A and B are shown apart, each in its own frame.
Chain A
Amino acid sequence: MPTVCDTRSEMAAVQDAPVEADNEKEIKTETLNDAAGNHASAAGGVIPSPPVASTSSSGPAKAGGPGSEEQQTLMAVLQFLKKNNFVGAVDVLRREAGILEDSDESQGQELAASALGGAEAGDATCTLSRASSCTTSTPAVAAAPAKGGEDQPDVNVVLSAYSQQGDPALYQGYYSGLKKFVESVLDCHRAELSQLFYPLFVHMYLELVYNNHETEAKAFFEKFSGDQECYYQDDLRVLSGLTKKEHMKGNETLLDFRTSKFVLRISRDSYQLLKRHLQERQNNQIWNIIQEHLYIDIFDGMPRSKSQIDSMSGSLAGEAKREANKAKVFYGLLKEPEIDVPLDDEDEEGENEEGKPKKKKPKKDSMGSKSKKQDPNAPQQNRIPLPELKDSDKLDKIMYMKEATKRIRLGPESLPSICFYTFLNAYQGLTAVDFTDDSSLIAGGFADSTVRVWSVTPKKLRSVKSAADLNLIDKESDDVLERIMDEKSASESKILYGHSGPVYGVSFSPDRNYLLSCSEDGTVRLWSLQTFTCLVGYKGHNYPVWDTQFSPYGYYFISGGHDRVARLWATDHYQPLRMFAGHLADITCTQFHPNSNYVATGSADRTVRLWDILNGNCVRIFTGHKGPIHSLAFSPNGKYLASGATDGRVLLWDIGHGLMIGELKGHTDTVYSLKFSRDGEILASGSMDNTVRLWDSIKAFDDIETDDFTAATGHIHLPENSQELLLGTYMTKSTPVIHLHFTRRNLLLAAGAYNP
């Protein structure tokens, strides 16, 4: 396979990445520590005795907090390993932990990714307990929810935090006392302090359950569950089932609550009110919970309004900490290689032969200055090693440019035409769809474990002849490339058999030579579209893989699944290059940034995270969705991200500032598909409610004011105008819209299965 050869050198570069990453890390640590320090001083400056200092307990809510807790867990793990005589593992862990403690602490939970370094390190320090329940020497990171018998010690460590006794009868009193207090405060503080209810409710309930006060727990739940915001209903449903201490072991939602601190943003005034109240009332129970299980992010300035809070809350672990979104993200696009649209092919080949090495070698700076100015927000061209362009790629690029000149400019006045591809007789089995970039092929993943590929052009799908037949071909002939194709078996569609469970994601490679599919059986498979056979099965996820996506430059791909880890792979490596751990629930969708330096993952924990491929860090956490996220789309300029969830809402994010900038309401069911038009003027969304909707994205992005204040605090006022942004709604005939795709000329293609 030509790709493999071409990219071998690239792989070396990728494997060197850990070294680079380490270098980078040192710098990063400094900056981040600075940030943390600033934050601490800013936060602690006014109050003489911030709560952190006053308590000696483990989990203070400040920057140092996660680290020490981390350490505690690590110690527990170490002891466990020692007890079981896993000497090697202890050494490894010691060494790793040493590095880890030095590394930036606020990123502690993402250490999994940074610890991984390269693929080789993967086996020893496979961090996610779930992903590696097969290996015995598993040092489980606290962030990783434990599962299965051997992880029990960890679970106990985690749970034992609940062992403190209080009089169970008083819990209701505590809670309603706080409720009364919050109702009595000024309006401006009430909304902020109301945020406390949900995490407190959960933790108090869990404490009751842990200490075997079943009846009290039930009474507590029934009395107060109705007060909680409706978007927490799914979690409450899980909680409601849980009434015994034994249930708590192995319940993931619960472990998520315990292991991740629920993050609240509260203004300083409101916080002081709360503190004064609790001190007056000697309400230690609540205070302890706040200390141990909550992270209160205090900011100076006006308290936020109810709508502001509601727009950001809803995730499993509260809002994102402000510093989590501070890292610099290079969201700009990479420079396109210089390819002149040639008059004849001969010319162009020669030109590019020269152009290619130039791009790779240090000379590129001069190249950069020569061509259009480098986007200051763009990453360095070789920040992530990318595969070299092949001749066929260049031809394709030329085709792309030619098509682009014929592209229709879209806008509110000129809406795109929509061509709908209906899958008939799918019997409820269609689970995933993808189009190639040039819109010539369509692939469908089905619940019956098959992947089917159709040609939507008159050109039929042909596979390469068998080896025996290939021997008979005259290899010298001019049309040898034509002759290797088997005309006899050409057909409109091909079926790919290989998976042993429903196929949940399919993705074409940009060069149309490969197809990826991921399945319930835990594998990701790479198929050749030349031979229509499976080339590789990538094993690593032991649980269903919900989504997979090729990089826009090919070669790399990302996968994410039920094990809560997103993995970055290269097609020629059977082990992942990076693992992105940090989500608290299933990763439901994945998407590459257009510059291939970042990936976004959406999760059932109702957050979107953006990961840096270079070092594995989580650089953005976006909260605000009220349901599992099922679709993601980057704007073509790389600046914005759109995400759609089961609640039917589409949220727009500014990646550079780490802010929510829009909310598009209109769908009544899960949004399964999002796509920006080629120039980014229109956002199309497809949903389970059988509609395709078009939104004016230019207007959505222009309307927001990103002054310094909002940028600094992250407190946004969402314009209430999502109806004005809606340009059109197109109802299908009982056909949920599963996939959307803009052709190079800005024709919108949609796909779904007719569901009578």
Chain B
Amino acid sequence: MADERRPKQCSLVLPTESMKVMAESVGVGQLQEECCVALSEEVSYRIKEIAQDALKFMHHGKRRKLTTNDIDHALKLKNVEPLYGFQSQEFIPFRFASGGGRELHFYEEKEVDLSDIINTPLPRVPLDVSLKAHWLSIEGVQPAIPENPPPVSKEQQKVESTEPLKAVKPGQEEEGPVQGKGQGVTSAESKGKEKSISRLKPRSTHELSVEQQLYYKEITEACVGSCEAKRAEALQSIATDPGLYQMLPRFSTFISEGVRVNVVQNNLALLIYLMRMVKALMDNPTLYLEKYLHELIPAVVTCIVSKQLCLRPDMDNHWALRDFAARLMAQICKTFSTTNNNIQSRITKTFTKSLLDDKTQWTTRYGSIAGLAELGPDVIKTLILPRLSIEGARIKAVVEGPVISNIDKIGADHVQSLLLKHCASVIAKTRPLPDNVDQYRADYGYLGSMLCSHVVKARAQAALQAQQVNRTTLTITQPRPTLTLSQGVSTGSGPRTPNIIKVPSSLTLPVQTLVSTRPVTPAQPSPPATKYIVMSTSTAAATSPQVVISLTSSRSSSPITSTAPSSTSTLQPLVKVEHTGQSVTTPGAGGSRTLQKYIVVSLPSAVSSEVKASSLSSPSTAVDSTVKADRTELPGASTHSSH
């Protein structure tokens, strides 16, 4: 049993090459091979000894990570002078280089100009230690407050909804009648052992405590109320609060019923509010919505394709709602679609059916096209592009034909611009050059000429971006809702942001927090590229507009331009700070606030700038995970700042 656990411990010895290199670095030119061997064995032994001592300091420091200070203390135990000035908060960025038959790992120390240091303003003093009390348990029951972890982890909710027989309710997971009170989350392993699969699924009680009922009332009222500030707060709470699990059925019904009623009454504003609630629920990292999709999806689809969503279809901007809901739908598909439930294919079928129907109204047509288009370029290519000429003819009939109604005309206009927006980018990537207007007209009919100009524009922009920056990092911001109504994400981030980054001036810190939250982020089906975005309103001018924080070996220290295309060797996390002013999107974030983002991107080995075009799923999953990472950060951060 112990065999496989233990690797061969004997054989770990530093290579003699290292000895030679080190000897050279201190000026000893030729070192005998025997000396190298003897030295490397001795050095390996001493290093192991020191590491073992350093572990003691780690244990007594009550940490899980060994730090450079531990090594220093271990050296001190052996009466060896510690290494001065070798401070590293998180991990040590060793660089790798090879050449001349040698491979080296080294720690890059940049030369620092003293005057630079003197002239830079002092960093803000880190927040002082403070003490905060909360109830971990009240008479044996853990209250669901933000300071406590979510009562039911997301994985568990997922298991519960996908494998209902195995799942166990949180309150009943401990055996025996006596422990009924001892509620809590036991470690995964103890659960795994005792649960027999044959056990019947216990009946769940859906009783809410008084506090939860109050909360539900407050939140729902705020969400559909008239006060925008309150709504932002409520949505923020829905998106971050870890204790909502038990209230999910309530929220789900609330949304579904609300949509049903308000569609009939054509109350656009309320529908928008309800969709924003769906979005907030989706954003909550502790919730797994699978079980409630049967209520949520019809509501969302209604908001996409309903014939009429508002009282004055000619005036109100119900198109934005359709766009927003379509985006939500796409997100739902990406998160929850499996081979079992086939959500995506069923949704696609629904949209296609109404698209093919000749009698479909322009509003519904717009919705189904938007819904399909959000599902990704592949869907556009297979389902929308072939229909371009037919749709073009239909639009032409309305635009150039006799004026039937103003509403139809507006609808046709919107469909046209929607088609152009989505198709142009797809065509730009798939269709070979040259872009000939006549050819386009032949292929796509009425829309051909306009499409051609859009495609040319798209190509030009793509070329520009490829030159300038690897824009994959930017595209991830695009799927953010572009509703003119300010969205939960952007409004919420305003007051919260100072919490996220406690020391805005030290650039290492956000990275730290990001890295360390990684275990907290729910296990997504790991996307090839991991991205984290932390938004902050930069108050001080501590950071220059564009700074590259090199976590590992970025070949050049100049801005990002050259990194991505040339990277063939290793995963290269790179951190980028940028102002939203430069990015092409997020109109929701007003220009008054300078939003600053730290974007950490770790690129897989073969990534090039073509990644945009490559796959349907990967960029969007990455988006999901960015949102998640963003979210998980928050509750903790808010805990931080309360003093």
Contacts and interface: CB of A to CB of B under 8 A. Distances in A.
Nearest to A755: B516
B2 A229 contact: yes
Interface string A65-98: 0000000000000000000000000000000000
A684 to B, nearest CB: 11
Contact of B174 (A413, A546, A726): A726
B1 A230 contact: yes
B136 A750 contact: yes
Interface residue tally of chain B, by bracket? Answer: 35 or more
B185 A729 contact: yes
A691 B190 CA distance: 14
A447 B187 CA distance: 30
A446 B190 contact: no
B154 to A, nearest CB: 14
A692 B149 CA distance: 13
Nearest to A229: B2
Nearest to A562: B77
B40 to A, nearest CB: 12
Contacts of B185: 729, 731
Contacts of A691: 187
A612 interface: no
B106 interface: no
Given A241-B44, A520-B73, A728 B183 contact: yes
Contacts of B184: 728-731
Nearest to B48: A241
A171 interface: no
A754 interface: yes
A247 interface: yes
A420 B57 CA distance: 26
A728 B194 CA distance: 16
Nearest to A689: B187
Contacts of A588: 59-60
B515 to A, nearest CB: 10
Given A425-B126, A544-B73, A756-B513, A419 B59 contact: no
Contacts of A244: 41-42, 45
Interface stretch (B6-14, B226-234, B410-418, B565-573): B6-14
Interface string B517-546: 100100000000000000000000000000
B69 A424 contact: no
B8 A222 contact: yes
Interface in B43-101: 44-45, 48-49, 52, 56-57, 59-65, 67, 69, 73, 77, 79
A415 B129 contact: no
Contacts of A734: 520, 636
A148 B78 CA distance: 9
A723 B138 contact: no
Given A413-B181, A447-B69, A588-B60, A424 B77 contact: no
B129 A452 contact: yes
A367 interface: no
Given A218-B10, A756-B516, A729 B186 contact: yes
B149 A733 contact: yes
Contact of A241 (B49, B187, B643): B49
Contacts of A412: 178-179
B134 A431 contact: no
A228 B2 contact: yes
A236 interface: yes
A630 B41 CA distance: 33
A330 B58 CA distance: 37
A723 B192 CA distance: 13
A423 B133 CA distance: 9
A701 interface: no
Given A148-B79, A416-B140, A604-B56, 4 more contacts: A225-B9, A424-B642, A504-B61, A732-B148
Interface of B: 1-3, 5-6, 8-11, 41-42, 44-45, 48-49, 52, 56-57, 59-65, 67, 69, 73, 77, 79, 126-140, 142, 147-149, 174-176, 178-179, 181-187, 189-190, 194, 502, 513, 516-517, 520, 635-637, 639-640, 642-643
Interface of A: 148, 218, 221-222, 225-230, 233, 236-238, 240-244, 246-247, 251, 412-431, 442, 444, 446-447, 452, 454, 456, 493, 501-502, 504, 520, 543-544, 546, 562, 586, 588, 604, 628, 630, 646, 666, 668, 670, 672, 688-689, 691-692, 694, 723-724, 726-734, 736, 738, 748, 750, 753-756
20 contacts: A230-B1, A230-B2, A238-B52, A241-B9, A241-B48, A241-B49, A415-B181, A423-B129, A424-B129, A424-B639, A424-B640, A501-B73, A502-B60, A586-B56, A688-B64, A723-B190, A726-B182, A727-B140, A729-B187, A738-B62
